[in-house]
Amino acid sequence: MAYKISNSFDLHKQEKKMMNALYWFQYFLILIKIVLFSIFTYIKIRLFGKSKSISSLSNRDCQIAIIGGGIGGVGAAYALVESGYKNVTIFEAREQLGGNAKTHVWQNEITTGLSVLAWPEIFRNYIHLLKKLDIQTTTVQLPFFLQNKTDNFIFAHGKSSDYKRELFRWNQMVKLVRQVTEFLCGTERSLYHFSIVNPFNYIPLRLLSMLFGISNYFWTNIVVPMYASSFLSTKLSFIPSSILPTLDSLISLQCERIPTMQSWCQTSIDVFEQMTRNIIKKTNHHVEKIRIEKLSNEQIRIFIDDESTVYDRIIFACNPKATMQALNYGQTKTSSLLNLLLSSVTYSDDDNDTSLLDGFIHRDRNILPKEYVDELCRTYANYIDIKYDKQTKEFYHYNTFILSSWLPNVNSMYRDKQIEPMLVTYASYDKPMPIIDSKKIYGKVDNRRAHPSLSFRNQLIALSIRFVQGEDGMFFCGNSVTPANGHDLSLLSGFAVAELIGAKYPFADNVEAWRDYQRFKRMCIN
């Protein structure tokens, strides 16, 4: 019997290897197809001027539809309305706008955010938006606490670390990437520095860390858990190394440098409500069918489901596969490149990267280690419990966001003992959830189809989407067509497609925000 079990396990490992080989074959095949189709489209446009994109709209009375009510779609709507477009309609499948900026109303009628909670000072466009809307913000600290009980180690902001040698190497790596990036792109800190000649755009983060002597233990126990909470993904190996200086400035691995960011004094609800005051909102509306007709005089007619309104332009700020389903159901033909790009976007749940997809909203402080529970609930924003699966020989972790310790609208109430802790705990789909008192569970979080994979292929798709922007009156924005997941990044993508339609960039009065916008356009639009 022991022999049979061992043999079965070996067969399982062989099967897994074969599946991995097939995955990577398909991955690189699609990658090559995207490169070839993009090059072909670029040459065709440059030599023959043949493009399916159409001219901008000067008529401010035209009808514009936006599919998806996240910050990308709402940002596009805001820019259009600010430029005088009168008939902008947002279609949103959920009950309220917000996209990944989810909120939860607790038992005592207190509303808090769940996913998008804080942002750095280099979110220049988002910060300027909040000032325009007169939304109050404040500075917050977000210390992390990582624990591996099996190996009896703790890695936390505000505490001493035993990994000084590895941290020194990590700092040297960050310093090198920063120096090269500043030489090529300038010294001003920006999320949108991109140079085609920067070698670190093509060197994966894990490979570079290995070259600098960063151990696998340090990577899996510290780097991945720490940054997974920001990216909502544990698949960080293939992120371009050029992002290192940004990562270091946001959440440093130096224990003495506690991450400091900005947050709303209340929640994101205020932001979306004010941005959409003069916009038609159709929530609880799942768009199933989109039919596009192109007339001989370059006019476009867009039909959505069975609505009587005929739209002149449409912006997709939603899951690209849902976009393709609606277009296919409406029998709308698309170019080969557009079809390839939209059908090739993958999400975290496509890659079995499910550590931060399903979470429980609760108040059970017993999920935290007894010896540190008071300190954690009072001081730390994140508690990460790191585990090791002996059978698969893989590390995994549970992540508990301690909202009541730092969120501006609730932390004083918790410190005054007016409320119980507010917690959100995530676990991997294939691992048992830590035991939580069912009486203290108040809801669930579903982040599926929310965050595209942080892969080179998705980044290439984001850089290639420029070739199909405007095709038959269609435009694309949001995190599915940007190089990474980020509130400011999605907002800029909405501004950019609004400008392609005919709107003006709304923050031209802010030089720093305008420069970031121009950097983004050079990277993803121009």
pLDDT band at 37 (very low <50, low <70, confident <90, very high): confident
The pLDDT value given to residue 50: 59
> Across residues 219-236, what is the average pLDDT?
87
Would you give the DSSP letter of residue 505?
Answer: P
CA distances from 353 to 26, 29, 149, 189, 241 (A): 18, 22, 23, 30, 20
Tell the residue number behind the tokens 């924005």, with chain if given. Answer: 477
The pLDDT value given to residue 2: 37
Q: Is the pLDDT score of 353 beyond 80? A: no
pLDDT tens-digit map of 1-12: 333 434 444 444
> Across residues 110-130, what is the average pLDDT?
92
* C-alpha span between 198 and 204 (Å, rounded): 13
The pLDDT value given to residue 354: 67
Q: How many CA atoms lie within 13 A of 127 on its CB side?
A: 17
> Across residues 319-347, what is the average pLDDT?
94
Count of other CB atoms within 10 angstroms of residue 136 = 10
- Average model confidence (pLDDT) across the chain: 89
Q: Answer for the pair 66, 90: CB distance below 8 angstroms, yes or no.
A: yes
H/E stretch holding 119 reads none
What single-letter amino acid sits at 434?
Answer: P
Count of other CB atoms within 10 angstroms of residue 418 = 11
* C-alpha span between 311 and 302 (Å, rounded): 5
The pair of structure tokens assigned to 290 is 């989109």
The pair of structure tokens assigned to 273 is 């409500």
* C-alpha span between 424 and 359 (Å, rounded): 6
Q: How far is CA 354 from its chain centroid? A: 14
Q: Is the pLDDT score of 392 beyond 90? A: no
pLDDT band at 16 (very low <50, low <70, confident <90, very high): low
Q: Which of 314-328, 344-358, 502-516 has the lowest mean pLDDT?
A: 344-358
**Cα–Cα nearest to 245, from 184, 178, 145, 301:** 178
> Across residues 425-430, what is the average pLDDT?
82
Q: Which string of DSSP letters, residue by residue, matches 138-187?
A: EEEE--EEEEETTTTEEEETTS--S-HHHHHHHHHHHHHHHHHHHHHH-S
Q: For 507, list phi and psi in degrees, rounded to 5.
A: -115, 40
H/E stretch holding 87 reads strand 87-91
Specify the pTM: 0.91
* C-alpha span between 509 and 514 (Å, rounded): 8
Count of other CB atoms within 10 angstroms of residue 216 = 11
pLDDT tens-digit map of 400-422: 999 999 999 898 899 888 899 99
The pair of structure tokens assigned to 199 is 């070698």
> Across residues 471-500, what is the average pLDDT?
94
Q: Answer for the pair 364, 190: CB distance below 8 angstroms, yes or no.
A: no
Count of other CB atoms within 10 angstroms of residue 56 = 11
The angle at the Cα of 89, spanning 85 to 93, to the nearest 5 degrees, equals 155
CA distances from 392 to 1, 16, 389 (A): 21, 11, 6
Alpha helices by DSSP H, 307-455: 320-329, 336-344, 373-379, 411-415
Q: Which residues contact 198 (CB under 8 A, 6 or more apart)?
A: 180, 181, 184, 185, 242
Angle between helices 511-524 and 487-501 (to 10 degrees): 80
